[in-house]
Each structure stands twice: as structure tokens, then as C-alpha cells.
Copies of this chain bind each other. A is one copy, B any other.
Amino acid sequence: MANTQILLKSRPTGWVTPDNFERTDADIPAPAEGQILLKTLYLSVDPYMRGRMNDVKSYVPPFQIGAPLQGGIVAKVEASNNGKFAEGTYVSGMGDWADYMVTDGSGFTPVDPDLAPLSYNLGILGMPGMTAYVGLKGVGELKDGENVFVSAASGAVGQVVGQIAKNMNCHVAGSAGSDDKVAFLKDELGFDEAINYKTTPNLFKAVREANPNGVDVYFENVGGPILEATINVLNFNARVALCGFITDYNATLEEMAPGPRNLVVLVGRSVKMQGFIVFNYPDLCKEWVGIGAQWLKEGKLKYRESVAEGLGNAPQAFIDMLKGKNFGKQIVHVSDA
């Protein structure tokens, strides 16, 4: 049996293409003393990974040319020379885009297969869910009954943002890029309002009407025109949690959309706009796993995934996700347990 790996072949300029990836087959590695062998079950493709493809300073080091890409994985402990991890148990953490990998286990945590489907640990109970919770509570300082707006609302993070806010009795509105997604937000997830930013003739008007009481917390995944439109309807002392700017991830500085012309609004309305990195809030991350699992059990959370089949399709799943073609949290099913 071979260990298939997906390597970074070249750094993209602009949009990521299949040429930026390379598939190789290696031998299955053997775990040394203190190491474990992991068999990948699911891997996660997430927007932040686009940044790691560039050779620039950021909060995580860039991917290396010729090395496997890395991201969130759920894996089974196939063999163990490390007393902390028993064979046959499940873990999640940052791992290689590969069928197998060895590690000393640092950064990996056990996951309970009875708590929720294993893949949920890459989404609603994993980094995207934690990001939603940290952005709303830690950065957004959300209080019960406030008014929340979220962009990319049907995505991995956005759908959790909206449901947390609904469970806190907030007015919740979101934007998404297709009528199907808009219907999902309103009919399935209970959003009060949702807009299709691609087809609305007047984004300013649509954002205003979707947020009749203004916006206390804006959870930003997108950037560009929707940010400008939302700034106009921010309330006094509003908070903007800057989670992502997916519109700009594939652009050079020259190609990047002009920023919002109305940042002056932030002064008069005492607005806080804050970028954040989920792993700087470990206590809230842990808190979310408990709350999220409980809410799932009680039926207070729904969750939609988009599953690509096979490691070889990971590059295309990643490319499609960056273009917004996924519907729900995009993951890749690599193998069965």
C-alpha cells in the first residue's frame, strides 16, 4: 500500500489552480519511539490556507514547496509508540494532506466518536465553530438580544455564527451567494433575514433592509463592497469581528478592491473593528466544544457539510471553496475508519 500525499508544487499568483499541487506516492512511514501513525479519515479545506500558500510573514508559517499541504484533519491512531494515544482511537489536529503521517502527537487532541460525527470536529465542533464563538463572544462581546449580521453566512463559520446568535435571542441576518443558500439560511437555520449579494440590485439598500435595527455585531468573512454597505448601518458602539477577507485572498495589492470609503463612520459611532486568530482564545475554544456538543444533542444547532470524495480531489475542493462553490462546510473524505 502506498501513502499518497498532496504537495505544494508552486506558489499561486492570484487564483489557485490545480497546477499549484502535485500528487506523489510514498511508503507508509513507521512510527519511531514516542510517535504514532495516523490514518487520515477527513481533511478540512479552509480559507486561511490560501494565506499559507504565499511566502509572507503571518501567524502561521507558509507552506513549503515540495512538502505536503497541511490543514485540519481527523484521523485514526493506526499504530502507537506513545502511551498518550491508544491504537484505534481518534484524534484531530493540524496534519498533512496525506493518507498517513507520523507525529509525536503534539497539537493533536482526542475526539469522541459518540459526541458527534467525526467530521464535525473539522467544522462545527472544530476550528470553524470555535472561530464563530470566539468572534461573537471574545471579539464581538455579543449580548443577548443584539443585532447580528454575518457575511458568507452559509459557510463553515457563518452558519455557526448565525445559530449561536439565534440561540442568544438576537436578530440575525446574513449574506450568501446563491438563492439556495439564502433559502437554507432562512428556512433551515432560522435566520431572520438573508440576502443574495450577487443578485441584489442595490447592496446598500439590501443590507439596510435586512438589518432594520442596525447592526451591533458584524461578523466579517468577506470584505469588499459588503463591508462598506454594512459600515453604514452599524450602531453606536458596534463591534466588527474581522475573521476573513476571502475576496482579497487571491488578489495582488493592485487587484485588491478599494477599501470602504466610510471608515470615518467608525469614529463618530465608536466602533471597534478587530482582527483575531482563534487560537489566541484557548479558553473560549474549549468552552465552545462543550456548548456546541450540548446544543447539537438538544437539536439547537444544524450543520451542513459539503463532502468531496478522495484525497486526490482535495485541491479542487479547496479551489472551489475559495470561489464560494461549496454549500456548507467543505471537507474531504479520505478514508473510512
A residues with CB within 8 A of B: 51, 58-59, 223, 227-228, 236, 242-245, 248-249, 253, 256-277, 280
Contact = CB atoms under 8 A, between A and B. Distances in A.
Contacts of A59: 236, 268-270
Nearest to A271: B275
A217 to B, nearest CB: 14
A134 to B, nearest CB: 11
Contact of A273 (B58, B236, B273, B277): B273
Number of copies of this protein chain within its complex: 2
A258 B277 CA distance: 27
Nearest to A241: B267
Given A59-B236, A261-B259, A272 B270 contact: no
A267 B245 contact: yes
Contacts of A228: 259
B275 A274 contact: no
Contact of A242 (B51, B253, B263): B263
A9 to B, nearest CB: 24
Contacts of A269: 59, 275
Contacts of A274: 266, 270-274
A245 B265 CA distance: 9
A267 B243 contact: yes
14 contacts: A51-B268, A59-B236, A59-B270, A244-B267, A245-B263, A245-B267, A253-B262, A257-B261, A259-B261, A270-B274, A270-B277, A271-B274, A273-B274, A274-B274
Contact of A223 (B236, B263, B268): B263
A259 B256 contact: no
- Secondary structure at the A interface, as helix, strand, loop or mixed, is loop
A268 B274 CA distance: 11
Given A275-B269, A276-B270, A277-B270, A223 B259 contact: no
A259 B276 CA distance: 21
A266 B275 contact: yes
A197 to B, nearest CB: 18
A319 B258 CA distance: 29
Contacts of A260: 259, 263
A276 B243 CA distance: 22
A251 to B, nearest CB: 9
A267 B275 contact: yes
Contacts of A259: 228, 258-263
Contacts of A266: 242, 273-275
Contacts of A245: 263-264, 267
A111 to B, nearest CB: 27
A48 to B, nearest CB: 9
Nearest to A267: B275
A264 B50 CA distance: 13
Nearest to A244: B267
Given A59-B236, A258-B261, 12 more contacts: A242-B263, A243-B267, A248-B261, A253-B261, A259-B263, A266-B273, A266-B275, A267-B276, A268-B275, A270-B280, A271-B275, A272-B274
Nearest to A247: B264
Contacts of A270: 59, 274-277, 280
A262 B261 CA distance: 13
